[in-house]
Amino acid sequence: MVELKISLESNWDQYLKSLAVGHQTDLNNVINELCKWAFSNSESKKQFEAWLDDAYPAKGVAEDKESDAEEETSENEEAAEEESEEEAHEDRNYSEDREPKS
């Protein structure tokens, strides 16, 4: 077995320790059994990996997502600016058509 040191939020630490005491085992066994149960089938593993990828994407993926988001924001700003310019141009043309000619 591999020795692993992890940090838990205090509420989980207290809860899991109380389970261990209540079942006359130690916290390591509780964590080990929790992992066995959570990843007992391939579908559970896939769901966890999908959640993990979304919540904590790998470094390259996170950078790609950030770059894509920045690019999309830039494109949206550019499109909004073009639309605003077109509306201003249309308003100017409409005003010129409505002005009385002398």
Q: What is the pLDDT of residues 19-30, one digit of tens each?
A: 999 999 999 999
Q: Please determine, for residue 102, whether its predicted confidence score (pLDDT) is greater than 60.
A: no
Write out the H or E segment, with its range, that includes residue 91. helix 59-98
Q: Please say whether the beta carbons of 27 and 17 come within 8 A.
A: yes
Residues 33 and 50 in one domain: yes
Domains in the chain, number: 2
Residues 67 and 92 in one domain: yes
Task: Say whether pTM exceeds 0.85.
Answer: no
5, part of any domain: no
Residues 39 and 20 in one domain: yes
Taking residues 30-43, what's their average pLDDT? 93
Residue appearing with tokens 């005491």: 21
Task: Look up the domain containing 37 and give its range.
Answer: 10-56
Q: Please say whether the beta carbons of 48 and 38 come within 8 A.
A: yes
Residues 64 and 88 in one domain: yes
Residues 78 and 52 in one domain: no
Residues 51 and 63 in one domain: no
Separation CA 47–CA 61 (nearest Å) = 18
pLDDT at 97: 60
Q: Please say whether the beta carbons of 20 and 29 come within 8 A.
A: yes
